[in-house]
Amino acid sequence: MDLNLIEALDALLAENSVTKAAARLHTSAPMSRALARLRRTFDDPLLVRAGRDLVPTPRALELRGEVHAIASRARALFAPSTTADPRTAVRMFDLQVTDMLSTTFIPSLIDDLREQAPGISLRLRPESLEDVPALREGLVDLEIGSIRPGDSEIHSEALVTETLIGAVRPGHPLAKAKNVTPQRFAAADHIVVSRRGRAHGPIDEQLAELGLSRRVVAVVPTFASALFLASETDVVCIAPARLARRMLDTLGLRTFPVPVELPAVTVGMAWHPRNHHDRTHQLLRERTRHIMAAAAEGVSR
């Protein structure tokens, strides 16, 4: 069945004229050919001559309403989306957010969405989904964090370039130091965040080049745990300067520049093409972009 015949039949039954039906559809194709095919398909003449005009047969009159409804639904399918304003949409989004951001960025995002789009809810998925193509499989709608190069079909956008700083509680010897040297930094006890339990990282490599090493007293799987422990005991924790500011202030931690050269950390977001043109998903990305920019601006002041 050629579904284009539905549109042709709708025009023919509306105009009762081959010429006017062609004009209605803005086509130069001969509508008489379409009418001949329709007559064979329905085994009925559908439109017959009555003087200079065409008039519908009883079968055509029987079909007219249903044909028009089907043609209208088909046109609506290809029409531009007329969905409700995304700010009033009710939607649940699955997010995969690096632990560093789950306690620093997500509170700001929740507060923002409660005002800008209160119908949007967030569900945070475990970081273990990093090991599967979660975006492609639809398990995750938006990934936010350190975006690693991957599948070329995935859309991604850099949001903030972060500088890492040291964080200690007010009573720590480094809290009041005017200049934290590599030697004093290495001599302190450290706490490391690693989901995979790794105690060694870029800081240790930089210290090794200076002939120094540090003592790692604990490795914890989450950023929140590390900052809480740093607020309760004399250990050094590494934190992002801008995105962690809210939590650092909440816990009353003091910060200082890390006295070794560390690469900057780029925080971005990634999403699958299936969501690229979705208006509500676009709003979520826009609000994420806004909050990240606000965090950067807040530190620069």
Residue pLDDT tens, the chain, 301 long: 677 888 999 999 998 999 898 888 888 777 889 999 999 999 999 999 988 889 999 999 999 999 998 888 888 777 666 556 888 889 999 999 987 788 778 989 999 999 999 999 999 987 765 545 788 888 899 999 888 766 678 899 999 998 999 999 999 999 988 899 999 999 999 999 988 889 899 999 999 999 999 999 999 988 889 999 999 999 999 998 888 888 899 999 999 999 999 888 899 999 999 999 899 999 999 999 999 888 777 644 3
Reply yes or no on domain 3-78 having CATH 3.10.450.50: no
Q: State the residue for tokens 């997500």.
A: 106
Give the number of other CB atoms < 10 A from CB of residue 207: 18
Say what the pLDDT of residue 166 is.
96
Judge contact between 296 and 162, C-beta under 8 A.
Answer: no
Distance CA 227, CA 118 (A): 30
Domain extents in the chain? 3-78, 88-160+265-297, 164-257
Note whether 88-160+265-297 and 164-257 share their fold: yes
Q: What's the whole-model pTM score?
A: 0.67
Q: State the residue for tokens 């509500």.
A: 280
Say what the pLDDT of residue 218 is.
96
**Which DSSP symbol is given to 95?**
E
Q: State the residue for tokens 């709003």.
A: 283
Task: Single out the residue of 124, 94, 93 nearest to residue 106, CA to CA.
Answer: 124
**Which DSSP symbol is given to 126?**
P
Helix extents (H) in 105-252: 106-116, 134-137, 182-187, 202-209, 223-232, 245-251
Residue type, 75: R
Q: State the residue for tokens 């965040």.
A: 193
Say what the pLDDT of residue 236 is.
97
CATH number, span 164-257: 3.40.190.10
Say what the pLDDT of residue 164 is.
92
Say what the pLDDT of residue 167 is.
96
For 88-160+265-297, give the CATH class. Answer: alpha beta
Distance CA 162, CA 249 (A): 17
Six token digits for residue 103 = 């306690």
Say what the pLDDT of residue 243 is.
83
